[in-house]
Amino acid sequence: MTPLYEKNKLTVYNSLTGNKEEFVPINSPFVGMYVCGPTVYSDVHLGNCRTFISFDMMFRYLEHLGYNVRYVRNITDAGHLENDADEGEDKIAKKARIEQLEPMEIVQQYTVGFRKVMSLFNAHAPSIEPTATGHIIEQIEMVKDILEKGLAYEVNGSVYFDVEKYNKSAHYGILSGRNIEELISGTRELDGQSEKRSPLDFALWKKASPSHIMRWPSPWGVGFPGWHLECSVMSTKYLGEQFDIHGGGMDLKFPHHECEIAQNHATHGAHSVKYWLHGNMLTLNGKRMSKSTGNTILPEELFSGDNTILEKGFHPSVVRFFMMQAHYRSVLDFSNDALVAAEKGYIRLTEAMKKMQSLQVSKTTEGLDVASWVDTLYGVMNDDFNTPMAIAQMFEAAKFINGISDGKLKITASDLEILSSTMNAFFFDVLALQLPQEGNADKLDAAVQVLIDLRMGARADKNWALSDEIRDKLADGGIMLKDGKDGTTYSVE
Ligand code: AMP
Ligand code: ZN
């Protein structure tokens, strides 16, 4: 069978060129896709989830088209300092110090939590999920290479990338559309304390202070890698010096992705990434959802409804549908009303999906040209993954299905086969939605487990009020928690 990608000309918006371009993989049918993963020092918030859900949808659509995708999404478990200017404490080490845990306990706890949330959202696991701490040797090798090429310098046990020197033969700022003069004028003067030659330079390797707990030996002394380095190393290690897609949230364009480009260019002498794709932000009260400002909502709060702005809990599929109703490059504002509206639409669509299974067929089709509907649906998806337009087409089909069910419209057996296989593919495989009653036992288990974990966390913090509230609200919904010596179990009344 001819693969779908042969007749579907997918175009993607490439942030590097600012154009929509035809997607032509370097080595079709293989596609390499790298997405910057979470820094595992706290629970992922819904904003983080939006980015990962957007790329999950792309991963799924590329696979649906017949590509063989290797999807690499890293776990940042070292080297991400509190601010981007290479100062401050390592975020993970800081949390470990505050909670009196091993940094790797922090990493484990939040990595497990992240995977759990992504699976509740029905996101596929990536093909490879490499960690920064698992690739220290490769990172040291890359630093050595950049030093040998003369594009970095060592000062007092730290190594910095020499941005101005690099910019003589390449363009630092190519992705974010800036030039070095603007960047220099926009930065503060070095305060005399800094080891960097220029404020634009960024750390490839940092010397560890005596109190720094995450530390490794290197040719420059004991230290730890700079944050940008891991993505350069792990993307090229698993996808090759040149690969197809690099993604992440828009907030990572500068400096993170700009620095990645510089590091790769310095090492390999060319650009590594063919298509840079960036997802837009989820906002709350009009402001970017962000851990540092506390303007967040956690997925667990959304599923349980346990948050002041929510009138009730929402199923993960409703939340996913809400996200898919916006284009991944548009800002999406989160609110209770928006979720309620999304839920209505989702129910309308799921009801049509159910009706579709038992439609009567006729000798003719009346009410929708199914073949051209299929072309339109793929056409909008091929236009830079336009999921809101795809959903609009699915609503067209839902109207048609309702018309047939009411005896006002007609469909032939062969058209019904095309309609249902296409609807099923988009609903279940590409948008990764679920029917409300489908696989409920598993889903309920997973969702209640999230709440049990949350309650355990509250108890560990001696937050009895929250712990009791979780137990009582679950009981109100007919889910009874029982604490035993082997942990907490539940039963449904
Ligand atoms: P971090 O753990 O901070 O490195 O973030 C993980 C991912 O979440 C990155 O790709 C960020 O771009 C993305 N992200 C952070 N905040 C938001 C937001 N409000 N909306 C969408 N994506 C976000
Ligand atoms: Zn990254």
- For residue 456, the model assigns a pLDDT of 86
Burial of 237 (0-12, 13-18, 19+ CB in 10 A): middle
Query: Span 283-430: which CATH code?
Result: 1.10.730
User: Of all atoms in ligand 1, which is nearest to the CA of residue 48?
Assistant: 8
334 three-state secondary structure: strand
Closest CA to 438 of 355, 357, 354: 354
Q: Which residues does a 6 A CB cutoff place in the pocket of ligand 1?
A: 36, 38-39, 47-48, 50-51, 248-249, 251-252, 281-282, 288-290
Question: Hey, do 4-279 and 283-430 end up sharing a CATH topology, with the first three levels equal?
Answer: no
CA–CA distance, 24 with 72 (Å, rounded to integer): 19
The stretch 251-272 carries a mean pLDDT of: 96
**410: Cα separation from own chain's centroid:** 41
The pLDDT tens digits for 203-239 are 999 999 888 888 999 999 999 999 999 999 999 999 9
| In the predicted structure, residue 485 carries a pLDDT above the cut 70 | no
- Note the ligand closest to the C-alpha atom of 74: 2
- Note the ligand closest to the C-alpha atom of 285: 1
- From 49, 251, 323, the mutation candidate for ligand 1 (largest count of ligand atoms within 8 A of CB) is 251
User: Of all atoms in ligand 1, which is nearest to the CA of residue 248?
Assistant: 10
CB 297 within 8 A of CB 272: no
- For residue 460, the model assigns a pLDDT of 85
Domain range summary for the chain, segments of one domain joined by +: 4-279, 283-430, 440-492
203, β-bridge pairs: 160
Residue 223: which residues within 8 A CB-CB, separation 6 or more? 157, 158, 205, 206, 207, 208, 215, 216
Residue 201's identity, in one-letter code, is D
| In the predicted structure, residue 438 carries a pLDDT above the cut 70 | no
The pLDDT tens digits for 19-56 are 999 999 999 999 999 999 999 999 999 999 999 999 99
CATH architecture designation of domain 4-279: 3-Layer(aba) Sandwich (3.40)
CB 49 within 8 A of CB 117: yes
Burial of 102 (0-12, 13-18, 19+ CB in 10 A): exposed
- For residue 254, the model assigns a pLDDT of 95
- For residue 246, the model assigns a pLDDT of 98
CB 92 within 8 A of CB 80: yes
Q: What is the mean pLDDT of the chain?
A: 93
Strand order in the sheet with 202-207: 152-155, 158-161, 202-207, 223-225
The stretch 304-315 carries a mean pLDDT of: 92
Backbone dihedral angles phi then psi of residue 261, each to the nearest 5 degrees: -60, -45
- From 36, 48, 121, the mutation candidate for ligand 1 (largest count of ligand atoms within 8 A of CB) is 48
User: Of all atoms in ligand 1, which is nearest to the CA of residue 50?
Assistant: 21
DSSP characters over 424-465: HIIIIIIS----TTTTHHHHHHHHHHHHHHHHHHHHHTT-HH
Residue corresponding to tokens 């799921």: 350
Residue 43: which residues within 8 A CB-CB, separation 6 or more? 110, 113, 298, 300
- For residue 447, the model assigns a pLDDT of 85
User: Of all atoms in ligand 1, which is nearest to the CA of residue 51?
Assistant: 22
- For residue 439, the model assigns a pLDDT of 52
The pLDDT tens digits for 405-418 are 999 999 999 999 99
Q: Please report how the helices 387-405 and 316-324 are oriented relative to each other, as an axis angle in degrees rounded to 10.
A: 110
Distance (angstroms) between ligand 2 centre and the Cα of 73 equals: 9
- For residue 461, the model assigns a pLDDT of 86
- For residue 300, the model assigns a pLDDT of 93
Nearest protein Cα to ligand 1, atom 14: 48
Confidence of residue 251 (pLDDT cuts 50, 70, 90): very high
The pLDDT tens digits for 127-179 are 999 999 999 999 999 999 999 999 999 999 999 999 999 999 999 999 999 99
265 Rama class: left (phi>0) / alpha (psi -120 to 50) / beta: alpha
Length of the chain: 493
- For residue 442, the model assigns a pLDDT of 66
User: Of all atoms in ligand 1, which is nearest to the CA of residue 288?
Assistant: 19
